[in-house]
Amino acid sequence: IQKNVLTLRAGGASTAEIAKRVGLSARTVQRIARATAYHEAGHAAAGAIFNQNPDFATLMPDPKTNILAEVTRMDHDLDSKKALKEEIIFCYAGQYAELRAGSSARRAKLGATTDDETAKGSMLRLCGEDANEEALSTIEKEMRVTASEFVDEHWALVERIATELLERTTLVWEELDGLRAIYQGEKTED
């Protein structure tokens, strides 16, 4: 259903039209779009703050990959512990932004399956391939707290990106970097 809602929305259909076509209430359609926007905004904010150069953030499903919405990055290396930790925060930031925006824990977890897998891979690299479950569990708990704190600290940027995504569906790197620069006081709205 989320894919249908986002596809119709990206195509310009109104909330009422989408609700009728997918058999949901208008409020549920709005909730799906909002939760997805905040999820992707969490990723985009992390990518922008960590200078990972997000290529774009979109609420438009990709029919080739079945990815519902995404943030892609032009370049980011994972050659240092700092970069691996930033990658993990990037992965978890979507989930925590969605939760802070009022989504249910179940919904946020469902939308983060790929994010969780990517974070786990980065944690394995961070801890070493021979890390035991206890070490991985400890780093996961620490990184989840760090990601939640990141979202809280940068909530104004997350909100701004989510609002822009809801209005325009897709934001490219220059727009995301511009929002980051405004947020960090490097530019003004003009």
Q: Is 116 exposed, middle or buried (0-12, 13-18, 19+ CB in 10 A)?
A: middle
10-60 confidence digits (pLDDT tens): 899 999 999 999 999 999 999 999 999 999 999 999 999 998 888 888 888
53-70 burial, b for 16+ CB within 10 Å, e for fewer?
ebebbbbbbeeeeeebbb
Tell me the average pLDDT of the chain.
90
Q: What is the CA radius of gyration of the chain?
A: 17
At residue 77, what are phi and psi to the nearest 5 degrees?
A: -100, 155
Question: Residue 78: pLDDT band by 50, 70, 90 thresholds?
Answer: confident
Q: Read off the amino acid at residue 22.
A: V
pTM over 0.95: no
Angle at which helix 155-168 crosses helix 81-100, to 10 degrees, equals 70
pLDDT of residue 137 exceeding 70, the answer is yes
